[in-house]
Amino acid sequence: MGRSYRRLVIIYRSFMDSDHFLKPFFEPRSVAIVGANPRTGDFAFNAIENLENFGYKGHIYPVNRKYAEILGRQCYTTVKDIPFHVELAVVVSPRNTVPGVIRRCGEKGIKSVVVPGQGFADADDEGKKLQQDIINLAKYYGIRILGPNTLGVLNPFANFTTSFLLLIDIHTLPIGMISQSGVFFTTVGRYSCFGKAIDVGNACDIDVADALEYFIQDEDVSVILLHIEGIIDGNRFRTAVTKATKAKPIICLKTGRSQEAAKAASSHTGSLIGSDYVWDALCKQTGIIRANSIDELSDLGKAFHYLPRPKGNRVAILSGSGGVGIIGIDVCIEHGLYPTKFAQSTKEHLKTIAPHWYEPKNPLDLWPFMMSSPKTATKAIESILNTVLNDENVDAVLFFGGTWWDDLIPSFVEIIVETTNQFPNKPIAISFSGGAILDVLAEHISERLEKAGKGFVFSNPNDAAKALAKLVDYSEFLSQS
Amino acid sequence: MGRSYRRLVIIYRSFMDSDHFLKPFFEPRSVAIVGANPRTGDFAFNAIENLENFGYKGHIYPVNRKYAEILGRQCYTTVKDIPFHVELAVVVSPRNTVPGVIRRCGEKGIKSVVVPGQGFADADDEGKKLQQDIINLAKYYGIRILGPNTLGVLNPFANFTTSFLLLIDIHTLPIGMISQSGVFFTTVGRYSCFGKAIDVGNACDIDVADALEYFIQDEDVSVILLHIEGIIDGNRFRTAVTKATKAKPIICLKTGRSQEAAKAASSHTGSLIGSDYVWDALCKQTGIIRANSIDELSDLGKAFHYLPRPKGNRVAILSGSGGVGIIGIDVCIEHGLYPTKFAQSTKEHLKTIAPHWYEPKNPLDLWPFMMSSPKTATKAIESILNTVLNDENVDAVLFFGGTWWDDLIPSFVEIIVETTNQFPNKPIAISFSGGAILDVLAEHISERLEKAGKGFVFSNPNDAAKALAKLVDYSEFLSQS
């Protein structure tokens, strides 16, 4: 790549970046916390404490007329008293003071404001009126508003968050999360499942389509998770999403599926809802991958990040017990995967390492191969995986561990990393069937695989098969569009 | 109750007990381990070591011509050399030696035999022939056989097991498990979910119907879990199950649902399979509660044990976040539960403890009530639960914790125990929505609730709602039958 072309790309990128109005929300160089308080710890909900713990390197300006200093920082009476440029204001003062703060932000020249508090369009008539006041003032001053009723943004790449809740287990994963509820910041799915996140809350201004546009051009994001209760501007959303699904997989949890829930969702964030049938059609047309629960959203995000996309739906089922092998067929059929037939050469090679009475076939019962010693078990698993992945009739593997031993963990992780490198187009979806002790073991293996960037462990055979099936679907969508 | 009547009951019970041929399998006073070995630890699969660790108090007789002593016990050349009465033999010697052992058991007068090994009807032609030999010999000598291809029985009430795998996290729960695969012994579901268990394996003699009959009359069992791949004698099963469902809830995971899986299941345990539609009809007619995964089987077993059965399907949804409240409605509608409307008095009382801007309704967002301090949070939860459970329009509660604090755990457990005692007909199904940290917290709360015998924590809102719905279904089945 020539030097001038590279420079052009850099200029273009920095133009794109600086152009998007959401950038100051995700990586502000300075932030004012209006209504800041000096309390710390649980139940203090201190955004400044949170930012410090998170290692934020930008400028933090507390604003509260009651205090001269908060956490060792000079505290200002109003935002207008801050003698520096402020890129973002987070307004955590009581709801009836918010319009006044927005006005002063406008006068100060602050163009980006987050309003975390509840009690606006999500609440009574007074709240609805206050939200309208905010919208009017924002328009007048050219301010973009995130919220109200939001935890705002989370950006581990810049150690920045507007959340007043403590955040834990946050990683710089290239998975972006867009939600209409703060619950996804603190409690989404199993283990950490995203990097950057934005909660649009009541979406009085910034909405899901804006966030989508931002994540499409964001190089830190390669998979996008969506939690949607309802969309006000359906056309804008469709345009944004149609562009996005071709570039990056979008996985969507649409809640408020029933009429009853839709009504409640409308009062939760004040947004309108399309019928579930319309949503389903929209997903099919635009290639959105639909998730049906918080856990599935988290699983699919990680599946699309960690696992390669298979070329087809022919699956080898390797199972620690015959009983779970049968379950493996059930879950394959349920999700449109095909329990493959092994090639003759595969069967013949497996026969050489099996007990004499065992006829190798799919699903393959691992137990007869591995019961003699940890060393035998490790060797058997390695040999079986290699044999099966070499089979032309195999597009992907479902690996269901059963009885297991701590000693096997490191070598098993090594084997998976190794075979994943060797067969970069054949995903291995792993689960360990149930039981508290296997949960702990599965977590250890999952952590190690995630650290190696080579996979993770699903909670059960069904979730593993479902995710594989969605990977197959997306490959098909891309090849057809 | 008069003394003579009580004596009659005792005589009848002891007659019933001693009558059932499965009793020596579950609580033998003496057991011979044929093919015992002196190795211990992982990969030794030493049933004697297992029995000792489990605290078995009966007599153990190792049999193996190669050793004079095993784990400090005299070892016999054959079962016939044991100079004592033997109630049960567990035959772990190589498959081709098994018929000879069965013959010697017959000659010795042992009437109950477990054959754990694989390689019989589940394997090649030679294995099928060996299994037929076993059947013929057993018939000739009047021996009952459990297996082959089985972990046998587990009975924590008598500290007895025939499993050669180490068992962990076993409790004397009044939940009985009948399975066709050993995987359920070691790895079923989340945390410990049953007490007594029997794996019928290839079921060459003792089958699911036998086990069902035993658990129906067993006072240590009040809920029965079933894992079925296929049944050979459908009529016997139907008769047993029709009697059973009226006495004790039976929850069944039927695997091998697709044709492909049915074929594989047939080669796994050598049993025949009915079509899935036939099964579904059978479940509806007989009142079997159907589970669709290992985790669901485990959840439902615990739900039927720990939770009372609600009188109707009207549910109050209490949620730590508005977003999960919406999900709560979705899962209710999906499983046939009705998100209730609160009585006017309920709303009025909730209004007195809510922030002024919040209009209490179902689903109830707990966050506005509990965000000021741990003390406020505890009080709010207690008051809300009491108010809602007092509402005549509420049959059950779905409690979805979100953001949470360690400090709340003990008082939350106390509140649940207290309210469960106060409202013994209104189940509270609890889950904490996702996230590694909340998983740990949920596990702590679940353990404490289980110890108190007053509930447990589901993995997610969907599982909680599904279980509530099955409790409602079973109440309806009982009232109609």
Band (pLDDT 50/70/90 cuts) for residue A372 is low
**Residues of chain B above pLDDT 70, percent:** 89
* 8 A C-beta contact, residue A427 and residue A471: yes
Q: What would the pLDDT profile of B297-316 be if each residue is shown by its tens digit?
A: 989 999 999 999 999 999 99
- Residue B351 CA from chain centroid, whole number: 42
- Show residues of chain A in contact with B180, CB under 8 Å: 323
- Residue B416 CA from chain centroid, whole number: 23
Q: Would you state the torsion angle of the CA atoms of residues A441, A444, A450, A451, taken in this order, to the nearest 10 degrees?
A: -160
Q: How many angstroms away from the CA of A237 is the closest CA of chain B?
A: 20
Q: What would the pLDDT profile of B118-149 be if each residue is shown by its tens digit?
A: 999 988 999 999 999 999 999 999 999 999 99
B329, A264: Cβ pair inside 8 Å?
yes
A323, B183: Cβ pair inside 8 Å?
yes
Q: Which two tokens stand for residue A218?
A: 């964001």
Give CA–CA dist B111/B213, Å, rounded: 19
When CB atoms are compared, the residue of B123, B320, B363 closest to A358 is B123
Give CA–CA dist B59/A102, Å, rounded: 82
Give CA–CA dist B369/B362, Å, rounded: 14
State the CATH class of domain B17-303. Answer: alpha beta
- In this structure, what DSSP letter does residue A330 have? H
Give yes or no for residue B113 having a pLDDT over 70.
yes
CA distances from residue A431 to A192, A324, A462, B377 in whole angstroms, order as listed = 17, 11, 9, 37
Nearest to B105 by CA among B70, B160, B144, B153: B144
Q: How many angstroms away from the CA of B45 is the closest CA of chain A?
A: 9
- In this structure, what DSSP letter does residue B342 have? P
Q: How many angstroms away from the CA of A437 is the closest CA of chain B?
A: 8
When CB atoms are compared, the residue of B127, B189, B322 closest to A268 is B322
Give CA–CA dist B105/B102, Å, rounded: 5
A368, B118: Cβ pair inside 8 Å?
yes
Nearest to B113 by CA among B83, B148, B140: B148
Strand segments, DSSP code E, in B209-313 are: 223-228, 250-254, 289-291
Give CA–CA dist A149/A369, Å, rounded: 56
Give yes or no for residue B463 having a pLDDT over 70.
yes
A251-255, A410-414, B110-114: range with highest mean pLDDT: B110-114
ipTM for the complex shown: 0.86
A186, B402: Cβ pair inside 8 Å?
yes
B321, A260: Cβ pair inside 8 Å?
no
Residue whose entry in the numeric block shows the structure tokens 């008082």:
B411
Q: What would the pLDDT profile of A125-155 be if each residue is shown by its tens digit?
A: 999 999 999 999 999 999 999 999 999 999 9
Q: Where are the domains of chain B?
A: 17-303, 309-480
Amino acid A2: pLDDT: 41
CA distances from residue A107 to A21, A90, A135, B69 in whole angstroms, order as listed = 19, 16, 16, 92
Amino acid B164: pLDDT: 79
Lowest mean pLDDT among A156-160, B232-236, B278-282: B232-236
- Which residues pair with residue A62 across a beta bridge? A33
Q: What would the pLDDT profile of B171-182 be if each residue is shown by its tens digit?
A: 899 999 999 887
Determine whether domain B309-480 maps to CATH 3.40.50.261. yes
A363, B127: Cβ pair inside 8 Å?
no
When CB atoms are compared, the residue of A95, A187, A339 closest to B260 is A339
A333, B118: Cβ pair inside 8 Å?
no
Q: CATH topology of B17-303 equal to that of B309-480?
A: yes
Give CA–CA dist B224/B215, Å, rounded: 7
* 8 A C-beta contact, residue A230 and residue A267: no
